[in-house]
Amino acid sequence: MSHAASVHSLWTMSAAAPQKIPAPHIEYAQLSPTLIVLGAAVLGILVEAFLPRRVRYHAQLLLSCIALAAAFAAVVALAAGGYATGKAHAAAMGAVAVDGPALFLQGTILLVSLVAVFTFAERRLDPAAHGRPVDSFAAQGAAVPGGKAEQAAVKAGFTTTEVFPLVLFAVGGMLVFPAADDLLTLFVALEVFSLPLYVLCALARRKRLLSQESAVKYFLLGAFSSAFLLFGVALLYGYAGTVTYSGIADVVNGSVRMLDPALAATTGNDALLLIGGALVLMGLLFKVGAVPFHMWTPDVYQGAPTPVTGFMAAATKVAGFGALLRLLYVVLPGLRWDWRPVMWGVAIITMLVGAIVAVTQTDVKRLLAYSSIAHAGFILAGVIATTPDGVSSVLFYLGAYSFVTLGAFSVVTLVRDAGGEATHLSKWAGLGRRSPLVAATFAVFLLAFAGIPLTSGFAGKFAVFKAAAQGGAGALVVVGVVSSAIAAFFYIRVIVLMFFSEPKAEGPTVAVPSPLTSTAIAIGVAVTLVLGVAPQYFLDLAGQAGVFVR
Amino acid sequence: MNPVNYLYLAALLFTIGAAGVLIRRNAIVIFMCVELMLNACNLAFVTFSRLHGNLDGQIIAFFTMVVAAAEVVVGLAIIVTIFRSRHSASVDDAGLLKL
């Protein structure tokens, strides 16, 4: 080697002394939650490639659960090590923030995903096909619905165990999304968690045409919105000359003087800032399902396999609001007199449209979708507060809401008829007479959605509205309370339907789940009640975690 | 030539792509319009990179290309699947999920 180099140097020489490119300094330990999850996802792909079909399901389930639990342990260790408060900083050359909000949201996402994986793995709800247990996912995603290939796949007892690595990849992206500290990381994380979700939506075992249609809609609209986000990133880069959050914030605040007058045409041009900021916000509001970017929500929630819907409704919202908070509080606080009126409008129409349109729904999954839109509006009210209380109340609300919504969708998987899940509301009539336990559990979740005291929904709504009122958004609180009242109407209507109407003779049956789904629902109920009865510890936790690093 | 003209071109391409997404009915064509929007972003990144005299924008353009390639993989798979089950890639035919 050295010999060859010396011979080579006889007739060539470098024009200038080679410049040394400094190797990036990556703090692997502080990024370990994300790295564990993504590493396990890659291992999951290898499991798909090399293990025989009969052991894949158990191997994947074990791998996913261990990875998510280990990543959660890593998050707790980082928080205990002081990274949530004193030692908070931007890791990986300023690309990923390790601070209170990031760790709190990562912990929430990991716990929710762990519970969601339980519902993904459920195999007792559908009747066994040819003597083999099946889950909620298509035997073979690529086979044409009703075609010969699908029949053969069902007969051979195939199951799509690829869903587990897909979930892990999505979780990996979601962990980075609220922690992203520059716009490029934000965009890449957005795509990393969106692409697996598009695929997961297309994989339902029953009603496959609906499922595929929801995937196409989600994909086309999602790609459209991420293109807007990317153009916004380009304009912000043009505005500030950098994509790091702190760099842009400095230019927004005017603490950087432009040295080169030739650049004044683009750098520091407010039109670039305003349009770019608006486009990035648009991309993020699409992901959290805020009106007027909510059109995909009901269709995708209805068509996707219900475990995926639950996962998406819970975890995507947490990740999306985390990124939104960081963008508004770290990058654009100097611009808050411009974005606050816009966000006021978005929050008001989101709350009202979500609550009012939900009243007319007849499908329980669509009902929950519109309810999630209304909740996005409530959370936005806390985002608008622009106070430390605003951040912590949003963090608490996200933690509380995600477990309620995951539990509610898990209950939806249990109520079934011959065609799979019976999601039409008329079929839920009299469910309380037929299976009181399931109906009572669903009622608990609905009461939490409605924000009745002693449930987590009340504690969350109270915290968010209090922060909004203190942040000078009193009118927003009034709209929020009014739309909560409208929303309470249809939640209570479902409860009345379940308990006070006669069950129909040909009504649906309630499947007896395996311990997996039972655990998921039990955790949902437990979190809902604990956060409702004794929220103080968790409010304090969110309060301590409510400071962003810059 | 004034590099700012490339920014106008990027904005124009982006608008053409966005209009195409809204107007066209074939899922594949819509998807191509999304790709056009991403490429418009790339042009903007590279132009700004030139204007600012730093390399960030050019690096980001590479990331965008990789992301766009990954999106093509997933997107075409989904569109081909729905085409095989319905024998149509028109988004107007996909109307089972309605209020």
Encoding tokens for residue A550?
Answer: 């810059």
In a domain, B18, yes or no: yes
User: Which pLDDT tens digit goes with each residue over A355-403?
Assistant: 999 999 999 999 999 999 999 999 999 999 888 889 999 999 999 999 9
* Residue type (1 letter), A293: F
Helix or strand holding residue A91 (H, E): strand A89-91
In a domain, B93, yes or no: no
Q: Taking CB atoms and an 8 Å limit, are A191 and B51 in contact across chains?
A: no
Q: Torsion angle, CA of A199/A200/A202/A208, rounded to 10 degrees?
A: 160
Q: What share of chain A is helix, strand, coil (3-state, %, to 5)?
A: 70, 5, 25
In a domain, B92, yes or no: no
User: Which pLDDT tens digit goes with each residue over A455-503?
Assistant: 999 999 999 999 999 998 889 999 999 999 999 999 999 999 999 988 8
Q: Determine the structural domain holding residue B26 and report its residue range.
A: 4-86
Report the C-alpha gap between B59 and A344 in whole angstroms.
Answer: 36
Q: Which residues of B touch A202 (CB under 8 A)?
A: 78, 81
Residue A268, chain B, CB below 8 Å: the answer is: no
CATH code of the domain containing B56: 1.10.287.3510
Q: Which residues of B touch A219 (CB under 8 A)?
A: 74-75, 78-79
- Asked whether B32 and A227 are in contact (CB, 8 A), the reply is no
In a domain, B56, yes or no: yes
Alpha helices in B24-99 (DSSP H): 27-52, 56-86
Report the C-alpha gap between A268 and A281 in whole angstroms.
Answer: 19
Report the C-alpha gap between A186 and B61 in whole angstroms.
Answer: 14
In a domain, B97, yes or no: no
Report the C-alpha gap between A39 and A28 in whole angstroms.
Answer: 13
Residue A301, chain B, CB below 8 Å: the answer is: no
> Residue A31 has what pLDDT?
95
Q: Taking CB atoms and an 8 Å limit, are B30 and A220 in contact across chains?
A: yes
Residue A303, chain B, CB below 8 Å: the answer is: yes
User: Residue A503, preceding bond cis, omega within 30 degrees?
Assistant: no
Encoding tokens for residue A223?
Answer: 């790609």
Alpha helices in A121-177 (DSSP H): 148-155, 163-176
In a domain, B39, yes or no: yes
Question: Which residue, among A8, A66, A44, A34, has the nearest Cα to A166 in the 3D structure?
Answer: A44
In a domain, B71, yes or no: yes
> Residue A287 has what pLDDT?
94
- The lowest-confidence range among A107-111, B51-55, B70-74 is B51-55
Report the C-alpha gap between A217 and A303 in whole angstroms.
Answer: 10
Q: Taking CB atoms and an 8 Å limit, are B44 and A234 in contact across chains?
A: yes
Measured between CB atoms, which of A213, A224, A241 is closest to B21? A224
Q: What is the mean pLDDT of each successive set of 10 residues along chain A, which is 550 residues long? A: 52 65 88 97 96 94 97 96 88 92 96 96 86 88 89 89 96 97 96 97 92 94 96 94 92 74 67 94 96 93 96 96 95 90 95 95 94 96 91 95 96 90 90 92 96 94 94 92 94 94 83 93 96 94 89
Domain count, chain B: 1
Residue A269, chain B, CB below 8 Å: the answer is: no
**B52 to chain A nearest CA, in Å?**
6
Total residue count of chain A as it appears in this document: 550
Question: Which residue, among A95, A102, A96, has the nearest Cα to A79 in the 3D structure?
Answer: A102
Measured between CB atoms, which of A212, A217, A302 is closest to B85? A212
Query: Which residue do the tokens 């963090």 mark?
Result: A395
Say which residues have a Cβ less than 8 Å from residue A34's Cβ, sequence separation at least 6. Answer: A71, A96, A106, A172, A175, A176
Q: Taking CB atoms and an 8 Å limit, are B67 and A187 in contact across chains?
A: yes
ipTM score:
0.97
Say which residues have a Cβ less than 8 Å from residue A311's Cβ, sequence separation at least 6. Answer: A112, A113, A116, A119, A120, A167, A170, A200, A406
Question: Which residue, among A276, A386, A512, A30, has the nearest Cα to B11 in the 3D structure?
Answer: A276
> Residue A1 has what pLDDT?
43
Report the C-alpha gap between B58 and A507 in whole angstroms.
Answer: 61
Measured between CB atoms, which of B34, B75, B97 is closest to A227? B34
Using CB atoms and an 8 Å cut-off, which of residues 33-72 of chain B contact chain A? 34, 37-38, 40-41, 44-45, 47-48, 51-52, 54, 56-57, 59-60, 63-64, 67, 70-71
Say which residues have a Cβ less than 8 Å from residue A390's Cβ, sequence separation at least 6. Answer: A382, A383, A384, A467, A468, A471
DSSP A504: P
Q: Taking CB atoms and an 8 Å limit, are B48 and A299 in contact across chains?
A: no
Q: Report in angstroms the alpha-carbon separations of B32 from A196, A422, B16, B17.
A: 20, 38, 11, 8
Task: Give strand pairing partners of A484.
Answer: none
> Residue A2 has what pLDDT?
47
Q: Minimal Cα distance from A258: which residue of B? A: B52
User: Which pLDDT tens digit goes with each residue over A7-18?
Assistant: 555 566 656 666
